[in-house]
Amino acid sequence: MDATLELALDLMRRSSITPEDAGCQEAMLARLAALGFRIERLRFGEVDNFWARYGDSGPLFAFAGHTDVVPPGPLDQWQSPPFAPEIREGYLYGRGAADMKGSLAAMITACERFLAACPQPRGAIAFLITSDEEGAAVNGTVKVIEALEARGEKINWCLVGEPSSAHQLGDTVKNGRRGSLNGRLLLCGTQGHVAYPHLAQNPVHAVGAILNTLADEVWDQGHAFFPPTSFQISNLHSGTGAVNVIPGDLEMLFNFRFSPAVTIEQLRERTRLMIDTCLLNEEVKTGQVFQYDLEWSLSGMPFFTPPGDLAAAAMAAIRAETGLAAELSTSGGTSDGRFIAPTGAQVIELGPLNATIHKVNERVAVADLERLSRIYEGVLIRLLGKTQKCRP
């Protein structure tokens, strides 16, 4: 069993459901301390984080990631227990295999090999690890970055180990992500008996036009490096559970994944105008007047790293290990890279296949773990290799 697989198994056996770390960080810190990293444990609220650094001068390269995982879901649908990782037919199964304990293991073993060959690199290496990425993300990476910024410690290059690959390991490198804006619409009607609809106002009936209008809207045409903004309804709640009661209110939760082609203010204002128009039409048609409340929360702004040293090093390392010409992409959700990029760091995401993340029977190809570790090592060599022995 190779070192990367062995460490991945150790991390995956720990039930680190957000925001629990379950000892994953201490397992990583033991390996990093043995290499000579200076360790800072940074706990904010109920969230464990750490910052570990090797070297004092030169450009700073950081690995970033998270030890927390999403809940496993229905246990009876797993072919093997989610926190008892199992290898079957060349795949490692278990929660966190791809997102992202496999990546964390690959980062550690990549550093171990690199520093064995190049103990005095031409810069510094760091790890920024949180247990709050899959949750609220308020006491994790964002707080660590605030602490680093307060003392003037700057990351030059950051590789986030999110599962970026689509079909083959290394076929996609994320160099940016769309922003995420959440909305909550509370539509207020009047509760009543279904036999006397003239004495009630049914918000479920009134929301139909709002749903269609928002879902059909083209919010923008995208951006030079970003796909168009998307709108999705994530939750819709109304009613008491009784079959003979007209509900008095309705709650709708929705999300925009937005490109830099549109601003937060534009999305909010256009949404409000569409709701107003739909409810005015409802008043004209039925004579019923509905009140509403609209609340917003921002999960993250879009971020983008133009092709530069970091992306070039990653793509060269991927080609050397796999023969693939990786694609730079900004598709998909968001990540903790949104907290790191605003500091001026070059940020990319590079990790295993993402086809099974957050799903039952999450898995990663066993062979891909060691290959990913070699790719990470190749990035370190290209950016921080000091002597001919540790250059590509």
Three-state SS sequence of the chain: CCHHHHHHHHHHCCCCECCCCCCHHHHHHHHHHHHCCEEEEEEECCEEEEEEEECCCCCEEEEEEECCECCCCCHHHCCCCCCCCEEECCEEECCCHHHHHHHHHHHHHHHHHHHHHCCCCCCEEEEEEECCCCCCCCCCHHHHHHHHHHCCCCCCEEEECCCCECCCCCCEEECEECEEEEEEEEEECECEECCCHHHCECHHHHHHHHHHHHHHCCCCCCECCECCCEEEEEEEEECCCCCCEECCEEEEEEEEEECCCCCHHHHHHHHHHHHHHHHHHHHHHHCCCCEEEEEEEEEECCEECCCCHHHHHHHHHHHHHHCCCCEEECCCCCCCHHHHHHHCCEEEECCCECCCCCCCCCEEEHHHHHHHHHHHHHHHHHHHCCCHHHCC
- Averaged pLDDT for residues 107-118: 97
Task: For residue 280, give the nearest of 290, 271, 267 by alpha carbon.
Answer: 290
Mean per-residue pLDDT, 344-371: 97
Q: Please report the pLDDT score of residue 389 as a whole number.
A: 58
Q: What is the mean pLDDT of residues 118-129?
A: 96
Residues designated catalytic: 68, 133
Binned at pLDDT 50, 70 and 90, residue 392 comes out as low
**Rounded Cα–Cα distance for residues 246 and 240 (Å):** 8
Average pLDDT over residues 108-129: 97
Which residue shows structure tokens 């957000």?
A: 18
Long-range pairs for 143-147 at CB < 8 Å and ≥24 separation?
143/42, 143/44, 143/47, 143/49, 144/42, 144/49, 144/51, 145/339, 145/340, 145/343, 147/42, 147/51
Segment 4-51, tens digit of pLDDT? 999 999 999 999 999 999 999 999 999 999 999 999 999 999 999 999
62: β partners = 126, 158
In the block, residue with structure tokens 């797993």: 78
Q: What is the mean pLDDT of residues 205-234?
A: 93
Q: What is the mean pLDDT of residues 195-208?
A: 96
- Cis peptide before 260, with omega less than 30 degrees from 0? no
Average pLDDT, rounded, for the chain: 95
Share of the chain above pLDDT 70, in %: 98
Average pLDDT rounded to a whole number, residues 167-183? 95
Mean pLDDT of 124-147: 95
216 falls in which pLDDT band (50, 70, 90)? very high
Q: Is the pLDDT of residue 391 over 90?
A: no
pLDDT tier at 347 (50, 70, 90 boundaries)?
A: very high
- pLDDT at position 249, please? 97
| pLDDT for residue 378 | 97
Instruction: Return the axis-axis angle of helices 3-12 and 24-35, rounded to nearest 10°.
Output: 150
Assigned token pair, 272: 């409000």
pLDDT on residue 1: 72
Looking at the predicted structure, is the pLDDT value of residue 388 above 60? no
> Averaged over 125-150, what is the pLDDT?
96
CA distance 83 to 95: 6
Q: Given this model, what pLDDT does residue 245 score?
A: 97
> In this predicted model, which residue has the larger pLDDT, 269 or 301?
269
pLDDT value at residue 300: 86
Residue 224 has a pLDDT of 81
85 pLDDT more than 90: yes
- Mean of pLDDT values over 323-348: 93
Of the candidates 22, 12, 16, 23, the residue with the CA atom closest to the CA atom of residue 69: 16
Q: Does 191 score more than 80 pLDDT?
A: yes
Q: What is the pTM of this model?
A: 0.87
> pLDDT for 70-79, tens place per residue?
999 999 999 9
Residue 227: band (very low, low, confident or very high) from pLDDT cuts 50, 70, 90? confident
